Structure formats: C-alpha cells, structure tokens
C-alpha cells in the first residue's frame, strides 16, 4: 500500500520491521489523517498490508493490487504492517491471489483470532505498541514457511527475465511458474514484472528524477511507454499521480 504524497496536516511514517519479524515483514507504518475525510489513490506495489484504524477499530488486509484503488481516508490514525513481497501467504494462511485487488476484513481469514487482536490493539496507548502487537500477531499466526523460490523469482522479475527463462532458472514449467507466482505474489510472472517496474519508476520519480531518465533507469522503452503503463496501472497520468494528495 503506497503512501502517496501527503499535505502538511497529515503524517506518514515508516520504519523497518523489528528484527524479530523481519523474516515475514518489511516495514511497519502509521498514517495520521487530519481534517475532513477524502479520497486517496493507492497504486500497485506488489505489497500486502494488515491495517488497523484506531478510531473505528476496523482491521483489514489490503491485498496485492493490479490497478489503482481509491480509498476513503477518514480522520484518525492508521497503523499497518507490510509483508515482504511474496511472504504474505505464510503469515495470513491464504494464497495471495485470493486477496488480489481486495480489501478483506481480517476476521474472514483469522476468525476468532482477529477479534482478540482487535481488542488488544484497542488497549494500546501508542503507535509503536500497536505496531508491535500487529507484528507479534503475524508471527504467531504463521503456519508455513514462505515459498523458497520467492527470492529468486523476485530477482529474475526485477531483472526483466523472460517468463520461459524464469521457469528454467527455477526448474519449473511455465504453467507451474504461473501457479507459484499467483500463490506467492497474487500475480502471474508478467504482471509481477510490470508492477515491480512501475513501483521502481514511481520511487525514482518521487525522488526527483526527470521522467525521461526515470523511464530509462526503470527499464521502459521510452517516456511514452512509462506514461502508458502509469495510465494502465494507476488510472492517471504520471504528473497527476506525482502531484496528487
């Protein structure tokens, strides 16, 4: 779930996951929403998050997206933990493709455990305490090891390897590769590559890079190619996305 660009009245803070949780989580984060409720565009980043809204008590999972998700932000605090790419199934107990483009109440996945977790979160007095509770809950709920092929698949996808070459490198048929990618990431290999490339491009652009240079560094044919992919995955132009609140 990408943070986007926030007005001064809002605050998004992110830090690495604690060492104890790093085998499954990449970071913990919080977002303070001030003022009136408003819409926010969340774009694909190959991530899965567990998110808790302190004021309403809502506790849900944001699955891996293939398109922009326009979320309604209400005043208050959001607290989240983000899975390492490809590691959500080990923590949540379901294949990632069952969560694709979805926002799912955690109770649908964890049954009674989600209710107890919500009660524990409600009793926390700080953001850090809530993040620790969420991280501990993920580790306690993990029932299986992540797919051991995930690191190699991510490296090959980021390098832009052809699907056939990815399958050969892992020792799978292309059909087996597709199933493994769906389960781990929520996408087939080709979509995974597109989302990872898009996410890299947006990070470079938010860092101040010129779009033509960003396109080259991220692996697009040219700036026009980048613009088409942004429209497809985010639903707006690069300029609109980068300047949106």
d(CA 234, CA 241): 8
- Assess whether 166 and 90 both reside in one domain: no
Domain stop point among 112, 141, 170:
141
CA distances from 234 to 91, 100, 167, 199, 214 (A): 27, 15, 29, 11, 17
> Is residue 157 one of the residues assigned to a domain?
yes
Do residues 1 and 80 make contact, with C-beta atoms less than 8 angstroms apart?
Answer: yes
Rounded alpha-carbon distances, angstroms, from residue 156 to 23, 71, 162, 182, 214: 20, 32, 9, 16, 20
Is 4 within a domain? Answer: no
Domain with 29, as residue range(s), is 11-141
* 194 contacts 160 by C-beta, under 8 angstroms: no
Helix (H) or strand (E) holding 103: strand 103-105
Please list, residue by residue across 61-100, b when 16 or more beta carbons sit within 10 angstroms of its beta carbon and e when fewer do. Answer: bbbbbbebbebebeeeebbbbbbbbbbbbbbbebbbbebb
Domain finish residue from 141, 172, 187: 141
Chain centroid to CA 67: how far? 12
* 110 and 16 housed in the same domain: yes
Report how far residue 89's alpha carbon sits from residue 85's, in angstroms, rounded to the nearest whole number.
10
Same domain, 161 and 108: no
Tell whether 136 and 188 lie within a shared domain.
no
Residue 6 lies in a domain: no
**What pTM does this model have?**
0.91
Which of the residues in the chain have pLDDT under 50?
1-8, 245
Tens-digit pLDDT profile for residues 62-107: 999 999 999 888 899 999 999 999 999 999 999 999 999 999 999 9
What is the per-residue pLDDT for 165? 96
**Which tens digit of pLDDT belongs to each residue from 44-56?**
999 999 999 999 9
65 assigned to some structural domain: yes
Question: Is 2 inside a domain boundary?
Answer: no
Q: Among residues 141, 159, 194, which one ends one of the domains?
A: 141
């Amino acid at each position: 779930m990408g943070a986007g660009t926030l007005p001064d009245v809002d605050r998004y803070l992110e830090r690495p996951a604690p060492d104890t949780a790093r085998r499954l989580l990449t970071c913990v984060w919080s977002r303070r929403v001030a003022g009136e409720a408003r819409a926010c565009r969340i774009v694909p980043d190959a991530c899965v998050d567990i998110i808790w809204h302190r004021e309403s008590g809502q506790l849900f999972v944001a699955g891996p997206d293939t398109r922009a998700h326009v979320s309604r932000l209400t005043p208050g605090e959001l607290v989240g933990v983000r899975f390492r790419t490809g590691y959500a199934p080990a923590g949540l107990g379901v294949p990632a493709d069952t969560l694709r483009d979805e926002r799912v109440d955690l109770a649908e996945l964890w049954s009674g455990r989600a209710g107890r977790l919500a009660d524990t979160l409600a009793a926390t007095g700080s953001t850090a305490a809530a993040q620790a509770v969420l991280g501990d809950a993920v580790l306690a709920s993990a029932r299986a090891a992540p797919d051991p092929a995930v690191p190699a698949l991510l490296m090959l996808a980021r390098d832009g390897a052809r699907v056939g070459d990815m399958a050969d490198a892992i020792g799978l048929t292309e059909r087996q590769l597709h199933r493994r990618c769906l389960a781990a990431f929520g996408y087939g290999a080709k979509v995974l590559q597109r989302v990872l490339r898009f996410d890299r491009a947006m990070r470079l652009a938010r860092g101040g890079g010129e779009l033509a240079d960003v396109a080259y560094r991220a692996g697009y044919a040219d700036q026009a190619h980048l613009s088409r992919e942004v429209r497809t995955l985010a639903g707006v132009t690069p300029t609109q996305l980068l300047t949106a609140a």
